[in-house]
Structure 1
Amino acid sequence: MTGILISTYPWVKALHIMAVISWMAGLFYLPRLFVYHAEQSEPEDSRDVVFQEMERKLLNVIMTPSMIATWALGLALVAVPGVVDWSDTWPWTKAAGVLAMTWFHFWLAARRRDFATGVRSVSGRRYRLMNEAPTVLMVVIVFSVVLRF
């Protein structure tokens, strides 16, 4: 098993990076869609229907499969002997960042369900602020992995 993990490591790493890019694109775009949805439509008007369809497809077709692939491939990378030294700080800061990003993903999914049921509990301004969360988390994760701090 170890031999397979080592020999496929570059492929798994490449696929992991692609999955992360896809997931991050959605995490950046969905809150921006929510800003416009909250500010430019009312429940059940024609724009609301269009926004809901765009948000649903982005979440279900791109973001969630990318998140699952990111997690699966990331765990496969961690399983390769010698890749992670758990006595270092960086794997823990990266893990904290990934867990926070996953929480944010599920927070966005809950807000999409709110829109689907006509609930408008979050303002466009708050969505604008929340749109910065993936950037901050990305900085923590990338610095953790590349600089190993």
Structure 2
Amino acid sequence: MLWIKAFHIIAIVCWFAGIFYLPRLFVYHAMAEDQATREHLKIMERKLYRFMSPFAVFTLVFGGWLASYNWAYYWQSKWFIAKSVLVVILIIYHGVCGHFVQQLQQDRCQRSHVFYRWFNEVPVLVLFAVVILVVVKPF
């Protein structure tokens, strides 16, 4: 079980590295004034999204595997249900990032750098909440 927990944590860290950095690339992309810079950012965004996506899957697989050791406890725990809702929000956020990557690849995204700066804060708040729920188990 400790190996599974270790791989779960590794996957989380790798996924969040991408979740934190990709929207920052969106900010730079929205601010870029020359086509060469935008093209370079397109490559970085595409590669980063491809890198982080398997770690999202690994996070879910290892997390589900860990929970499977004691389903009854976890699905009766309010903190775990709240954490699971936040994980669903992260999955949706990940999908929205993929949508933005596609739009930026096709030069169809009209969002401002200010939007992406705010968008970039969502996973920070979710991470804080998830860590507090898992460690403190406030309810």
Using the size of structure 2 for normalisation, the TM-score is 0.94
The corresponding residue for 1:11 is: 3
Matches within 5 A, 1:38-57: 38-41=30-33, 45-57=35-47
Identical residues among aligned pairs (%): 32
Correspondence 1:96-115 to 2 at 5 A: 96-115=85-104
Computing the radius of gyration from Cα coordinates, the structure with the larger value is: 1
Please tell me the residue identity of whatever aligns with 1:127.
Y
Q: Find the aligned partners of 2:59 and 2:72 in 1 and give their Cα distance.
A: 17
**Are the equivalent residues in 1 in contact too, given 2:79–2:133 (CA < 8 A)?**
yes
Equivalent residue number for residue 29 of structure 1: 21
Query: How does 1:42-81 map onto structure 2 within 5 Å?
Result: 45-61=35-51, 63-81=52-70
Structure 1 portions without partners, runs of 5+: 1-8
Q: Secondary structure at the match of 2:76?
A: coil
Cα RMSD (Å): 1.4
Which amino acid is the alignment partner of residue 147 of structure 1? V
Q: For 1:127, what is the secondary structure of its paired residue?
A: helix
Contact 1:27-1:134 within 8 A present in 2 as well: yes
- 1:49 CA drift (Å): 1.2
Residue 110 of structure 1 aligns with an amino acid whose one-letter code is H
Amino acid paired to 2:74:
D
Work out whether 1:137 is the aligned partner of 2:126. Answer: yes
Which has more helix, going by share of residues? 2
Aligned length: 138
Q: Cα deviation per residue 1:78-116 (whole Å; 9 max; x = unaligned)?
A: 101378432221111110110111110000100000011
Task: For 1:106, give the aligned amino acid.
Answer: G
- Matched-pair contact (CA < 8 Å) for 2:67–2:74: no
Whole-angstrom CA distance in 2 between matches of 1:100 and 1:81: 23
What secondary structure is seen at the aligned counterpart in 1 of 2:96? helix
Shift of 1:46: 1.1
Give, in whole Å, the separation in 2 of the partners of 1:132 and 1:59. 18
TM norm structure 1: 0.88
Structure 2, gaps ≥5 residues long: none
Aligned with 2:75: secondary structure? coil
